[in-house]
Amino acid sequence: MAGPRTPLLKPRAYFDSKSPPFDLQRVALVVGAYLVYQFGTLDLPADPDGALSVMQAALASLDLLGTLVALVVVAWTTYIRTYGLACARDIAVGDAAVVTVSLSFIGFLINLA
């Protein structure tokens, strides 16, 4: 019988580091700055119907950005869930990935609808 499995990741060492490899605050700052720039350059007409159509056109251009951000979030959470499931249930990472990737894919498709 084999000895105890050593985990692939050492969560304690990751959370004790001084600078995390992925800084979510910087990403949020960049996305926020982009939104402020997008809406700051709009010329709104005086009539409300014209202003509404201009705002809708500006928001339509953000659909691609929103989809890309959602895809990145789904990929990151799938990665975390895969290794969490593998460590918690003592199963292979590939077996855990089958479950988490398929559930994340279904959730992403539902989110797009």
Closest CA to 59 of 35, 89, 24: 35
Rg over alpha carbons for the chain, rounded to the nearest Å, is 21
Return the structure tokens found at 92: 């292979």
Tens-binned pLDDT, residue by residue, of the chain (113 aa): 555 565 555 554 444 445 545 566 777 788 788 878 877 777 878 888 888 888 888 777 777 777 888 888 889 899 999 999 998 998 999 999 999 999 999 998 887 77
- What contacts 24+ positions apart, CB below 8 Å, involve 89-93? 90/5, 93/8
Domain ranges of the chain: 68-113
DSSP letters spanning the chain: ---PPPPS--HHHHHTSSS-SS-HHHHHHHHHHHHHHHHHT----SSHHHHHHHHHHHHHTTHHHHHHHHHHHHHHHHHHHHHHHHHHHT--HHHHHHHHHHHHHHHHHHHH-
Q: What angle do CA 55, 56, 58 make, to 5 degrees?
A: 65
